Amino acid sequence: MRVLEVIRRASGQGQPGPLPTFSHIHILRAIYLVAENPGIGRKRLAATLGLGEGVARTLLSRLKSEGLVETDRAGCFLTDYAKALYRELTARISRPYRLNIRDTWPYPYSVGIAVKGAAGLVKMGLEQRDAAVRAGASGAITLVYQGGRLLMPGISDVTGEHPDFAGRIVEEIKPVEGDVIIISGANNLQDAENGAIAAALATLGHEEE
């Protein structure tokens, strides 16, 4: 996807000099945040991303230099160019959803994300779990939505075995046939979101080297 190449460039990948203390996952999360919260301020952006204000300032500078964000006294906004990229992005990867599943999932924070039409790209979900853990998550599960049911590939029919859990996931994320849903868990929201996005990118073959 064109948007991922822009994000990699904004994160400094492939450019000379030391890499900044944020990754392409932070860039991606920032785009989601600004898209869904037009006028968001730098302090709130930094806190939500789990970054220091100085790092967030550098991140915003990169976004502005790539023509993705414009700022004024009201806050941060996506440019028209970035809005087009955002539509391209969300056609394949949903925004991260915070889930309340602590009664069935052992982590304090859980985030779900849908990779649209990607069921054929998932084997056993190990690649997604490993990508999520490398990005800071404590664990992750990968589900596919087929025949109106949530399935854990090669392992179980989650809808049949845990209907309440499956029902909550479907109600929140609203998958359609062939979607992949990744649920990432961590001890804080930032790591859970980072893990979900990393696993989604790994599913599409765009994981950071």
The answer, yes or no, to whether residue 185 has pLDDT greater than 90, is yes
The answer, yes or no, to whether residue 164 has pLDDT greater than 60, is yes
Name the band, by pLDDT with cuts 50, 70 and 90, for residue 2.
Answer: confident
Q: What is the pLDDT of residue 208?
A: 42
With residue 91 as reference, give the H or E element that holds it.
Answer: none
Q: What is the pLDDT of residues 93-137, one digit of tens each?
A: 999 999 999 888 899 999 999 999 999 999 888 999 999 999 999
SS3 per residue for the chain: CHHHHHHHHHCCCCCCCCCCCCCHHHHHHHHHHHHHCCCECHHHHHHHHCCCHHHHHHHHHHHHHCCCEEEECCEEEECHHHHHHHHHHHCCECCCEEECCCCCCCCCEEEEEEECCCHHHCCCCHHHHHHHHHCCCCEEEEEEEECCEEEECCCEEHHHHCHHHHHHHHHHHCCCCCCEEEEEEECCHHHHHHHHHHHHHHHCCCCCC
Q: What is the pLDDT of residues 129-160, one digit of tens each?
A: 999 999 999 999 999 999 999 999 989 999 99
CATH level 3 topology of 97-203: Gyrase A; domain 2 (3.30.1360)
Residue 183: strand pairing partners: 112, 141
Residue range(s) occupied by CATH 3.30.1360.30 in the chain: 97-203
The answer, yes or no, to whether residue 18 has pLDDT greater than 60, is no
Name the band, by pLDDT with cuts 50, 70 and 90, for residue 209.
Answer: very low
- Report the Cα 33 to chain-centroid distance in Å: 11
Q: Amino acid identity of 150? A: L
Phi/psi class of residue 19: alpha, beta or left (left: φ > 0; alpha: ψ in -120 to 50)? beta
In this structure, is the dihedral angle defined by the CA atoms of residues 11, 78, 175 and 109, taken in order, positive or negative? positive
HSE-CB for 16 with a 13 A CA cutoff: 0
pTM of the full structure: 0.86
The answer, yes or no, to whether residue 207 has pLDDT greater than 80, is no
Q: What is the pLDDT of residue 13?
A: 57
Q: What is the pLDDT of residue 96?
A: 93
Name the band, by pLDDT with cuts 50, 70 and 90, for residue 205.
Answer: confident
> In CATH, what is the architecture of 2-90?
Orthogonal Bundle (1.10)
Higher pLDDT, 14 or 104: 104
Q: What is the pLDDT of residue 140?
A: 97
Q: What is the pLDDT of residue 168?
A: 93
- Our separate counts of H helices and E strands in the chain read 9, 8
In order, the DSSP letters of 55-72 are HHHHHHHHHHHTTSEEEE
Q: What is the pLDDT of residue 109?
A: 96
Q: What is the pLDDT of residues 21-69, one digit of tens each?
A: 788 899 999 999 999 999 999 999 999 999 998 999 999 999 999 999 9
Residue range(s) occupied by CATH 1.10.10.10 in the chain: 2-90
